[in-house]
Amino acid sequence: MMKGSLFVLQFLASAALAAVQLPRGWFTIQPTEKIKPGKFQGKPRYLTWMADSQIQHGVEPTLAYTVSAFYSGVLLAYERTGDQKYLDYVRHGADILLYPEHDGTVLFYNNSNSIDDIRIGHTFLDMFNATGDEIYKKAAANMRNQIDRTGRTPEGGFYHRYPGYIDQMWLDGIYMLDVFYARWTYEFEPDNTTAWDDIALQFDLINKVTTQSNHTNGLPVHGWDAGKTQVWADPVTGAAPHVWGRAVGWYIMALVDTLDYFPERHSGRKRLLSYLQSLVDAIVAAQDPKTKGWWLIMDPELAGVHGNYIESSGSAMCVRGLFKALRMGYISGKKYSKAALDGYELMTTSFAQPRGHGALAWEWTVQTGSLSSNGTFEYYASMPLFQNDLKGVAPFIFASYEYELFSSKS
């Protein structure tokens, strides 16, 4: 978002102060303030260290999925520490998005037709559950209503965006839409069998068209074009040509998070568990034996080729997914725990680096990877790397939370 947009947000927030009371104790960290890492089992506590560092770096309070994911990470720090500053921080960010009407209308939302924008619904539900204030539920209902108007492929899968990506399903979108869809249904419509059937269908379809289309290493390719008209689409299957690491990361997180809500009695749960089992096996097999991370492009023949590299956001997502699957009992065994622990060690020794005033910087996150491109390896490899990109920061916080829970049980 441009700086001008941020100014508008700040202006609207200031103008509404007389009508709406902001949470007390609004928390920020000044650029010159020293960040203290804290300790967990005698080692630096990366869960709070990264959360505090990113708060100091600054996060614009927009409805972007990256911001919502970061807020989820901050709330995990709140859960583990009980420190009110983290809850206040997220509530302040959510409240800014509800100005100036403060009636559940979300600032700059404009009835979006992008699946990515549904992710902010989690933030509003988190605030509703934390405070009981109905305004947050009303805000989240915007995202639930968006699901009902989202376009579908002929098979019934949600396509990524209208009008840009008609008839395209991406792994990213499964995380952005379907986890929220499952959560809303679990919290407000638990007996809605039609919704549960629909959620299961999305995973059935994405598994069929991305994982089953890859006959090399069992990992899902980035996406699928039902019309088989995109330049990157296989003319027979419609599948994208490459396995993009961050898309795999979104997918494993979508599976482990959706299973939090998916009913035991529904036949689709067993299928989701089978997809997860196949995925974690493929992820562990694809882990780089030297670095213990995961490649930007995970096609086996491209490991180590010029332009490919161990990328931090996809690696963090894979580690988080493995840790959570272990914690929830979906998988068990030393090969999984070792892969997760080795991957987490890579993150804390290579990707998370202390900088000025003790703050952590998060390195080696690719800016983007989109199927609005030609989908070639050269395209993915040409995308720039960003420091402190929330697409890497948030999953690292998620992974740090899971690491703490795993270590506490070990």
Q: Write the pLDDT tens digit of every residue in 274-283.
A: 999 999 999 9
**Count of residues for the chain?**
410
The pLDDT of residue 155 is 98
Measure the CA–CA gap between 308 and 36, rounded to whole angstroms: 35
pTM of the predicted model, to two decimals?
0.94
Give the per-residue pLDDT at 23.
Answer: 43
Q: Which residues of the chain have pLDDT under 50?
A: 1-25
Question: Residue 26: its pLDDT value, please?
Answer: 54
Rg (CA), the chain: 20
Cα–Cα distance list, 379 to 159, 222, 316 (Å)? 22, 13, 22
- Rounded to an integer, what distance in angstroms lies between the CA atom of residue 302 and that of residue 214? 14
Phi, psi for residue 272 in degrees, rounded to 5: -60, -40
The per-residue pLDDT for 227 is 97
Give the model's pLDDT for residue 24: 43
> Taking every pair of C-alpha atoms in the chain, what is the biggest distance, in angstroms?
61
Asked if 318 contacts 335 with a C-beta cutoff of 8 angstroms, the reply is no
Tokens linked to 26:
């609004």
Q: Tokens 């180590």 appear where?
A: 304
Please report the pLDDT score of residue 209 as a whole number: 98
* 263 three-state secondary structure: coil
Q: 110: helix, coil or strand?
A: coil
- Please give the C-alpha separations between residue 79 and each of 73, 74, 82, 100, 105, in angstroms, as whole numbers: 10, 9, 6, 30, 28
pLDDT > 90 fraction of the chain, expressed in percent and rounded: 89
* CATH code of domain 31-60+150-409: 1.50.10.10
**Model pLDDT, residue 27:** 63
pLDDT of residue 3: 41
Amino acid at 134: E
- Per-domain boundaries in the chain: 31-60+150-409
pLDDT of residue 9: 46
Predicted local distance difference test score (pLDDT) of residue 31:
84
Contact (Cβ atoms closer than 8 angstroms) between residue 53 and residue 105:
no
Where do we find the tokens 């007996």?
191
Beta pairing partners, 224: 169, 239
Instruction: State the residue for tokens 């206040």.
Output: 88
